[in-house]
Amino acid sequence: MNGKFLLSGLPVLVVIMLFLSVGAAAESNITQLVDTSGECAAPFFTNPLEKFRNYLQKSDVPYTVLKGHRDVVFAVCFSPVSPMFASGGADDDVILWDGTTHTPWRTFSGHGDTVCSIAFSPDGKLIASASYDNTVILWDAATGEKRRIFKGHKDSLKSVAFSPDGMLVASGGWDNTVIIWDIVSGTPVHIFAGHDGCVNAVAFSPDGKTLASGGRDRIVNFWDTQTGTLEKSLEGHAGWVLSLSFSPDGKTLASGGLDNAVKLWNVKTGELLTVLEGPNGAVLSLSFSPDGQWLAYGGDGAGVFMKNLAFDQTAEKLPVDYGYVFSVAFSPDGLKLAAASTEKVVILFDVGKTNER
């Protein structure tokens, strides 16, 4: 990696101190950086300039390639409460990985076709998996037992998501519909039919009040999860919307599409904030870091990219190429980034290693 990426990866406090050292001309930049966080940066480095030198010494991001799937890996996600993470793929299986040993801990078999999307419940006790077999299975993460099977879609599924309170699961698929399920009763709470084409992505807002969905019609819809009404529709993509991710504070939605673009939207107003440079291909997956400072995304043959949203700089590609990347996910502490690959592997990046040097 080049020095530009290393500078863009600096914590806000370090960057502010460096700007101060070169004069007052950077005051407006400093103010802008502080405002993006919404709160004061804590003095967690005893020697920020030494930390800066350590960043400059970094030449790559360590990564581990995990083998366990027998076919393309389409989905990956981390447990919110443990070092475990899960992946799903075209071998129809869900694999739960030990985050310490990086070995498969348990394999969940039960789908009749490709597992294309997975999500942990907020308490880490359940895993929802969506499949091309038209179903969502709710698994007990500890035992691997099926807790419930959601049947209602008339075609293959593409995406699944848990609500922040863990009581609802949303799914979208090739039947052009979005269904919100009650995990206790197993019945639909709402069925949304507002897309003119398949639904490729669904995502709950951090407060659980809004569900975003994106599809083949190039539109992102915002749904009220309580009333079931359509709040607004966002238009701007020139190709299918393939991926969605809310920022941790819920103020921004990132969308990726077949038009090679990453777009950032104001959730409250629906305004298009900016368009980020894509990976020279379809943007198949998106993930905000837990602190909201980074956006990771992957695409068709272009690898994995990370963009520091506090700096107006080009996103940098992580130093590995394992074909198409269908899913990316940050660990809860932001130190790991997992990527699901067409090469039948999960790539685990130690993106937090810079903070340890």
List domains and CATH numbers for the chain: 3-57 (no CATH), 63-356 (2.130.10.10)
Q: What is the average per-residue pLDDT within 117-126?
A: 98
Is the predicted pLDDT of residue 232 greater than 60, yes or no?
A: yes
Q: What pLDDT shows up at residue 297? A: 95
Q: What pLDDT shows up at residue 44? A: 28
Number of H helices, E strands in the chain: 4, 28
Is the predicted pLDDT of residue 303 greater than 90, yes or no?
A: no
Residue (of 51, 162, 141, 38) closest to 96 by Cα position: 141
Sign of the C-alpha dihedral, residues 94, 100, 101, 102? positive
Q: What is the average per-residue pLDDT within 188-207?
A: 97
Residue (of 2, 52, 8) closest to 308 by Cα position: 8
> What is the pTM for the complete model shown?
0.82
Helix (H, G, I), strand (E, B) or coil at 339: strand
Comparing 8-22, 139-153, 200-214, 217-231, the range with the smallest average pLDDT is: 8-22
The pLDDT-based confidence of 301 (bands split at 50, 70, 90) is: low
User: What is the chain's mean pLDDT, rounded?
Assistant: 84
Sign of the C-alpha dihedral, residues 232, 234, 240, 244? negative
The pLDDT-based confidence of 302 (bands split at 50, 70, 90) is: low
Distance (Å, rounded) from C-alpha 256 to C-alpha 238? 11
Q: What pLDDT shows up at residue 284? A: 94
Q: What pLDDT shows up at residue 353? A: 60
Is the predicted pLDDT of residue 354 greater than 90, yes or no?
A: no
Q: What is the average per-residue pLDDT within 222-242?
A: 97
Q: What is the average per-residue pLDDT within 265-278?
A: 93
Could you read off the pLDDT of 89-108 as tens digits, one per residue?
A: 999 999 999 999 999 999 99
Q: What is the average per-residue pLDDT within 270-285?
A: 89
Q: Can you tell me which residue has the tokens 């790539």?
A: 347
CB atoms within 10 A of CB 43: 8
Q: Crossing angle, helix 12-21 and helix 48-57, to 10 degrees?
A: 100
Could you read off the pLDDT of 131-156 as tens digits, one per residue?
A: 999 999 999 999 999 999 999 999 99
Sign of the C-alpha dihedral, residues 25, 28, 29, 31? positive
CB 138 within 8 A of CB 150: yes
Strands 230-235, 241-246: pairing is unpaired
Structure tokens at 166: 């863990």
Is the predicted pLDDT of residue 7 greater than 70, yes or no?
A: no
Q: What pLDDT shows up at residue 56? A: 29
CB 322 within 8 A of CB 345: yes
The pLDDT-based confidence of 332 (bands split at 50, 70, 90) is: very high
Q: What pLDDT shows up at residue 173? A: 96
Q: What pLDDT shows up at residue 281? A: 86
Longest C-alpha distance within the chain, in Å? Answer: 63
Q: What percent of the chain has pLDDT over 90?
A: 74
Q: What pLDDT shows up at residue 15? A: 28
Host H or E run for residue 8: helix 3-8
Q: What pLDDT shows up at residue 14? A: 32
Strands 337-341, 262-266: pairing is unpaired
DSSP, res 34: H
